[in-house]
A and B are shown apart, each in its own frame.
Chain A
């Protein structure tokens, strides 16, 4: 593949993106695809000339999943304010499994109660306050009233 420079002056006017399943589509009205449905002005894939490519031509921003954790000595790929929630989750699941294995009903009940408390802590930390906990916006806000003149 041959690398070419971008000749697009303002891609905001001629490019679009959308998602379908596990794929992102990049379409443009620039260039001529050589058919009635893909001529200049109609949406189609980018036309750069056969075998040509614009190196690092696309940048996407996305909500990501944390990386897989492979060794206990590593740090977790998640904001540190959310890391205590991991302890709650792991304890909850471990206590549930331990409760299922025990033959003493009283012990099982205590473990289940502890597990439910840990899971409740986890849910509150992540599902209710996850985004608020690690968002970096702070301070007081000022509201600029609209000029109605």
Chain B
């Protein structure tokens, strides 16, 4: 447990010193705006896993998923010894055959690890 761990109440009290009469909801919205802005920078690293499905090329990363991804920098696949082995990133970003899977989001379920 860190010595200093701010909650919204403490932020709210600090804001009241500068701007009296602001509401808690207003501060809550501003805190979320700050968090969105901070999310654009590489401050937080997380890992998540999902199932590898037969004949599924695409796995969804959009905001509707249970994880909030900004940039993926590593991917690993489970091997026969139950180890996760890092795999390389394909630089051209495409393969010969076109795959359009419209139900990608429903077929993907991430769990944060």
Which residues 87-113 in B have Cβ within 8 Å of A in the complex?
A: 87-97, 99, 104, 111, 113
Which residues of B38-94 have CB atoms within 8 Å of chain A's CB atoms? 38-39, 41-63, 67-80, 82, 84-94
- Residues of A within 8 Å of B62, CB to CB, are 22-23
Instruction: List the A side residues contacting B51 at CB < 8 Å.
Output: 1, 53-58
In the bound complex, how far is the Cα of B50 from the Cα of A53, in angstroms?
10
Say which residue of B4, B12, B38 sits within 8 Å of A78 (CB atoms): B38
Contact with B69, one of A35, A52, A62 (Cβ below 8 angstroms): A62
Contact B80 A57, beta carbon cutoff 8 Å:
no
A interface: dominant SS: mixed
Q: Chain B interface mostly helix, strand, loop or mixed?
A: mixed
Q: How large is the interface on B (under 10, 10 to 19, 20 to 34, 35 or more residues)?
A: 35 or more
Using CB atoms, name the residue of chain A closest to B63.
A22
Interface residue from A15, A53, A84, A94 paired with B87 (Cβ < 8 Å): A15
Interface size on A, residues (CB 8 A): 86
CB distance from B36 to the nearest CB of A (A): 7
Q: With contacts A25-B57, A26-B59 known, what are 7 further pairs, Cβ within 8 A?
A: A6-B82, A18-B91, A24-B61, A48-B54, A62-B72, A66-B38, A82-B38
* Chain A interfacial positions (CB closer than 8 Å to B): 1, 5-12, 15-20, 22-27, 33, 35, 37-38, 42-80, 82-87, 89-91, 93-95, 97-98, 111, 114, 122, 126-127, 130-131, 134
Q: Nearest 3 A-B pairs (CB), nearest first? A: A57-B52, A72-B8, A65-B39
